[in-house]
């Protein structure tokens, strides 16, 4: 069931210059929130800023949900101005989450930038399924959220584009290196488009199924405005535009056309 609801900000934590964690009271109608789903947040008071902003679910707890918000414009700035005790109008959960009806036990999770956030709930849900999870997270110059992942798996690696000799590089290079000595059954990923494209390519080359969480620009979040379309394969030689908010945001790698 999806509804608008005013939910209380329980906690706000500044993670770094651009990223805040908001812990929001959990709407009591949301019994099952899937990893990969998102909520559409009303950012300001009245009608400004007009459009809602889609924020992926990062971690579902008993009575609350954690969201990580990257300040990239007026809407997300307004969200980060919220104080503990304020109420936010949120709509969700929306979209289709990751498909966890999987065969095979060896999973690798690849995240990049703010796209690591929705992979945290995924890691938690997969750890409950007792599969082997390797998490690889890539950042530009500053890592965040890493200790949260370590609560659910002992295998968490990071790369920094501007890092030291030890961890400098792209997370996709780390994936290519690991694949030489370990056979994975699934890759789950979220992050910037060039990274998703490369993960999809590696998955196809190595014959590993991939699931990509696409973070397109959105407006309505419910399939009405067509702002969020992306190109996917339909049938052998056919393709179509679909709504990321409605048919996604998670797609199998072999569906998506970049």
Residues engaged in binding ligand FES (CB under 6 A): 218-221, 223-228, 243, 245
The nearest distance, CB 54 to ligand FES, in angstroms, is 8
Q: Which is nearer to ligand FES, 102 or 225 (CB)?
A: 225
The nearest distance, CB 228 to ligand FES, in angstroms, is 4
Q: Are 9 and 83 in contact (CB under 8 A)?
A: yes
Q: Which is nearer to ligand FES, 102 or 227 (CB)?
A: 227
The nearest distance, CB 38 to ligand FES, in angstroms, is 11
Q: Which is nearer to ligand FES, 94 or 195 (CB)?
A: 94
The token pair that represents 160 in the structure block: 């920094």
Distances (CA, A) of 101 to 81, 98, 105, 220, 246: 39, 9, 12, 29, 20
The nearest distance, CB 165 to ligand FES, in angstroms, is 43
Q: Which is nearer to ligand FES, 10 or 219 (CB)?
A: 219
Q: Which is nearer to ligand FES, 72 or 226 (CB)?
A: 226
The nearest distance, CB 52 to ligand FES, in angstroms, is 9
Which residues, listed in sequence order, are joined to residue 169 by a DSSP beta bridge? Answer: none
> Residues 193-200: contacts with CB within 8 Å, 24+ apart?
193/258, 195/110, 195/112, 195/115, 195/138, 195/170, 195/171, 196/256, 196/258, 197/258, 198/170, 198/172, 199/110, 199/172, 199/175, 199/253, 200/253, 200/254, 200/256, 200/258
């Amino acid at each position: 069931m999806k509804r608008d609801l005013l939910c209380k900000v329980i906690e706000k934590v500044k993670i770094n210059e651009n990223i805040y964690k908001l812990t929001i009271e959990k709407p009591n109608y949301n019994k099952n929130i899937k990893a990969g789903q998102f909520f559409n947040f009303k950012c300001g008071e009245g009608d400004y800023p007009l459009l809602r902003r889609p924020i992926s679910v990062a971690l579902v707890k008993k009575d609350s949900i954690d969201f990580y918000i990257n300040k990239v414009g007026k809407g997300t700035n307004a969200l980060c101005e919220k104080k503990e005790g304020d109420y936010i109008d949120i709509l969700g959960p929306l979209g289709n989450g990751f498909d966890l009806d999987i065969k095979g036990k060896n999973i690798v999770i690849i995240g990049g930038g703010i796209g690591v956030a929705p992979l945290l709930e995924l890691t938690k849900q997969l750890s409950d399924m007792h599969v082997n999870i390797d998490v690889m997270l890539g950042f530009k110059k500053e890592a965040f959220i890493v200790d949260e992942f370590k609560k659910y798996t002992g295998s968490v690696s990071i790369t920094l584009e501007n890092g030291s000799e030890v961890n400098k590089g792209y997370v996709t290079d780390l994936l290519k290196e690991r694949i030489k000595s370990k056979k994975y059954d699934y890759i789950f990923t979220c992050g910037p488009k060039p990274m998703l494209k490369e993960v999809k390519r590696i998955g196809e080359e190595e014959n590993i199924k991939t699931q990509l969480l696409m973070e397109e620009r959105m407006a309505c979040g419910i399939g009405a405005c067509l702002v969020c379309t992306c190109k996917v394969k339909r049938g052998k030689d056919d393709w179509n535009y679909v709504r990321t908010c409605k048919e996604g945001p998670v797609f199998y790698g072999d569906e998506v056309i970049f």
